Amino acid sequence: MPKKNIVILTGAGISAESGLKTFRDSDGLWMGHNVADVATPEAFYRNPDLVQQFYNERRKDVKAVQPNAAHFYLAKLEEEFNVHIVTQNIDDLHERAGSRQVLHLHGQITKMHTVKNTNIYFDATDEILTGHLGEDGSQLRPHVVWFGEEVPMLQQAAELMTRADIFILVGSSLEVYPAAGLIEFVPHEVPKFILDKKIPSLFQYENILPIEKSATEGIKELDLLLEEYRT
């Protein structure tokens, strides 16, 4: 019998439990910076040195932390289910926990691409500085999707949602669009487990099963609720 498809959408809450700071809980400030000053194309062209240094520091932050129990639990689900993770996070904690099918909606801080070609990206193991050029001769930049830029993986993510037998939301307030709209592609009859410290308003959707806890606290309850869906 084929494994059931679990599609998981993760957000800032799961990474925060590993010690990564986000702007979700800090009034639009990210590590003391206004998002408009470090996370938009306009900011990059206005002050590239500031933006590059900001992401160099965030890359160091990611390397300094470890996946938490929630990351490892989601990876372990692959033993029983066909699991696809769609994440809004730019860190690599899901991969480091062992998840094999991870789609990054907003790119990855551990990668880089040139300003001329966003489709080809490379590992960023060190700092990216102004003057660091790719093979096409243009400036290298973090492989992240800034506010105001298209989300190239959105269509692929939406298609994954349509094939879900089980949907799980972990650590997301569903406030950042277009990612927040992905739940609309999940079929009505599919059970939708919502694991977050503050459950977003989802009255318009069917088959919602809320777990109002942090990711690491809520995985035990989630595991119990998944029992009836195991083959």
pLDDT band at 176 (very low <50, low <70, confident <90, very high): confident
Say what the pLDDT of residue 27 is. Answer: 53
Q: What pLDDT digit, counting tens, does each position of 117-167 carry? A: 988 999 998 899 999 999 999 999 999 999 999 999 999 999 999 999 999
Tokens of 78: 């692959």
pLDDT band at 205 (very low <50, low <70, confident <90, very high): confident
pLDDT band at 219 (very low <50, low <70, confident <90, very high): very high
- Rounded to whole angstroms, the Cα distance separating 9 from 7 reads 7
Predicted confidence (pLDDT) at residue 25 exceeds the cutoff of 80: no
The residues, ordered by sequence, that sit 6+ positions from 183 with a Cβ below 8 Å of its Cβ are 9, 161, 167, 169, 174, 192, 202, 205
Tokens of 106: 């907003």
Q: What pLDDT digit, counting tens, does each position of 69-119 carry? A: 999 999 999 999 999 999 999 999 999 999 999 999 999 999 999 999 988
User: Counting every residue, how long is the chain?
Assistant: 231
Give the Cβ contact number of residue 76 at 10 Å.
15
- Rounded to whole angstroms, the Cα distance separating 43 from 87 reads 24
Q: At which residue do the structure tokens 């001769």 appear?
A: 137
215-225 and 69-76 helices, crossing angle to 10°: 30
Tokens of 132: 């660091």
Q: Give the Cα-Cα-Cα angle 147, 150, 151 (nearest 5 degrees).
A: 95
Say what the pLDDT of residue 231 is. Answer: 67
CA contacts within 13 A on the Cβ side of 130: 10
Say what the pLDDT of residue 201 is. Answer: 79
Lowest mean pLDDT among 2-16, 194-208, 210-224: 194-208
Catalytic choice (71, 94, 106, 113): 106
* Pure H helices in 39-85: 41-46, 48-64, 69-76
106 is catalytic: yes
